[in-house]
Structure 1
Amino acid sequence: MSDRDRVTRIMCINCNICVNTLRRYRALELNIRVTTLLCSWVYPQIITEDDYVCEACRDLAMISVNHSLQEISGIDDQQPGPSHRGHASVCVLCGCSILQRQSDRILRDNPTDLHQLMYTLIENRVAPRQVTETDKVCHPCWLRTQREARRTHDVNRPQSTIEEPSTADEPILAGVQSCVSNEEVRHAPNGLTLPDYRRAANNNNRCVFKDCNSTTLHGISDKLRAVVLSNHNYYIPKLARVCSEHLSSNLWETLYYSANSLDTFTADQVQHVFSFIKVNTTMDFENILEMDDRVFEYWIGFTKEKFNSILEEVPRINETRKGCLGLAALLMKMRTGDSDERIATLVQVPRRTLENSIDKIRKILCPKTWEFTS
């Protein structure tokens, strides 16, 4: 097991920020008045000997206590009040700062069944802490929870009495095949409605993302369609286009919940899906010229030209064994937040090999930071 796997995240009991690399204090070793106030802030949580507070929350509590002492003789009669957090923009799951990161609000109006299941999963993880309207999670945690919710939803879904046989060549449409037959698709009067899949409008005049008015539109390859459908249960029709900005962003999962997404499919669209489910989306970063440009940018966040420029600027990467793979895997991890195991599966290498490659690239790119954290 690597050092990274053994690290235990230590969270501030009050604001929930990860304090592994921040100055922290044991909550019960602070001044009794400060500890008492912290207990009221985090109620109904109970502070134990293993709980810490960050410096910002400690300072806030001390300021509040000093202010109270100036007005009244003590704080014995102080009633539990709303939480005062030293760090307001924090992921409630992993404790990272989301001040300058993409994040997702947990509580939403008119949630779907999948989103309600995600909320339940998050609520169970942070219990006894209560989820509030202002709570958010970072985007990687959101994607991980979304995948877990979908797996749970698939396991709990009642099985049809007649199931279509599945094959290894049809992983993307496993859910579709168990719900509908070709005969049903052909004779559906108003199109076929799939409960767990949605699609974009078949329109080549606008970007598939809602309220986007960009005129710089690009076609979408079948390989990218296959990846988006597999990861997000979202189908992009033949004529659909995406703008340059959204093509490079990592917001594909938002399309499913977008107000302009549709849940009805025509026979032609279902046949189109069957035409590209066997498309090879293997990611061979040792031979990136053979990879689809759109799929490459989807996973890495950079174009091939930008990726190659990094290799040219840091020649040590190419001189390192599997250096190109390590750089690609590191960028994938930063972009998606996926686990090493999932990324290893995507690039078809053993997890240990992947972790070693990522560690080598980290040492090359951030040698001083690596020495500090090792």
Structure 2
Amino acid sequence: MPRCINCWIAIPITQQYLYNATDMDLEIISVLEDWIARQVIDEDYLCQECVNLLILETNNSERQFGHDSVCVCCGISIARRTGRRSHQLNYGDAEWIYTANIISPLEMPANARACNACWQRAHRQPPPAESGLFVISTARTDNEDNLQEPNPIISGSSSIVDSTMWSLPVLPAQTLKMFSESQL
């Protein structure tokens, strides 16, 4: 199901007005590209509300949204739901990483929210290992006897990180020896 490139709402194929962003006037495309901070491509669609806003606001440079509250994962409107039924996705959280993998190659917006169903699915599952998008590892000191909690590191040059690897913290040699002896 296509999504509106401006407000992320899911647009049913059967909807009477499904607008391809590249079919718009050059002036409208220019405003849209300013709003979404990238070039418009053939796979980009617009909902009726965003097309109306673009037509009305071609002279205004402030970005407008046709739908204010949309689940970034499934595209349903969460405007009428209470605060407990939608969740803010914060950069670097497990839910954010899982959702970024799901919607890839689209980028996560700064104000990303998820409906309760999508947030619970993301909360229960780690990011898919086969996606190859994220690196999450732990930083350790050279001294293995230091039992401080490892610091999670999320690395990458863009909003989506480069490859997937979940690693467990390295246990001190003494603990490993005790564990292996207890298994005998």
One-letter amino acid of the structure 2 residue matched with residue 136 of structure 1: R
Alignment of 1:185-334 (within 5 A): none
Whole-angstrom CA distance in 2 between matches of 1:144 and 1:131: 19
1:29 to 20, 23, 32: 23
Task: State the match for 2:5 in structure 1.
Answer: 13
Instruction: Name whichever structure is richer in helix by fraction.
Output: 1
Task: State the match for 2:97 in structure 1.
Answer: 120
Identity, in percent, stands at: 25
One-letter amino acid of the structure 2 residue matched with residue 83 of structure 1: R
**Normalised by the size of structure 1, how large is the TM-score?**
0.32
Task: State the match for 1:148 in structure 2.
Answer: 125
Question: Which is further off, 141-150 or 28-37?
Answer: 141-150
Report how many residues are paired.
135
- Runs (5+) with no aligned partner, structure 1: 1-8, 69-77, 109-114, 166-374
3-state SS of the aligned residue for 2:19? Answer: strand
Task: State the match for 1:129 in structure 2.
Answer: 107
Q: Kindly tell me: are residues 104 and 126 of structure 1, through their superposed partners in 2, closer, same or farther at Cα, counting changes over 3 Å?
A: farther
Whole-angstrom CA distance in 1 between matches of 2:108 and 2:75: 15
1:100 to 80, 84, 92: 80
Whole-angstrom CA distance in 1 between matches of 2:127 and 2:10: 27
1:84 to 53, 58, 64: 64
- Contact (CA 8 Å) 1:92, 1:126: kept in 2 or not? no
Task: State the match for 1:308 in structure 2.
Answer: none
Whole-angstrom CA distance in 1 between matches of 2:36 and 2:88: 21
Q: Kindly tell me: are residues 35 and 129 of structure 1, through their superposed partners in 2, closer, same or farther at Cα, counting changes over 3 Å?
A: same
1:63 aligns with 2:87: no
Whole-angstrom CA distance in 1 between matches of 2:119 and 2:28: 34
- Contact (CA 8 Å) 2:53, 2:64: kept in 1 or not? yes
One-letter amino acid of the structure 2 residue matched with residue 52 of structure 1: Y
Whole-angstrom CA distance in 2 between matches of 1:137 and 1:34: 29
Q: Kindly report the root-mean-square deviation, in angstroms, between the aligned alpha carbons of the 2 structures.
A: 3.0
- Runs (5+) with no aligned partner, structure 2: 130-135, 137-165
**Normalised by the size of structure 2, how large is the TM-score?**
0.61
Whole-angstrom CA distance in 1 between matches of 2:108 and 2:127: 23
Whole-angstrom CA distance in 2 between matches of 1:131 and 1:62: 23
Q: State the structure with bigger RCO (CA 8 A, min sep 6), 1 or 2.
A: 2
Q: Kindly tell me: are residues 142 and 61 of structure 1, through their superposed partners in 2, closer, same or farther at Cα, counting changes over 3 Å?
A: same
One-letter amino acid of the structure 1 residue matched with residue 86 of structure 2: S
1:47 CA displacement: 1.6
Superposed CA offset, 1:95-153 (max 9, x none): 11111332101128xxxxxx723223334535553431x32111111111112228878
- Contact (CA 8 Å) 1:11, 1:18: kept in 2 or not? yes
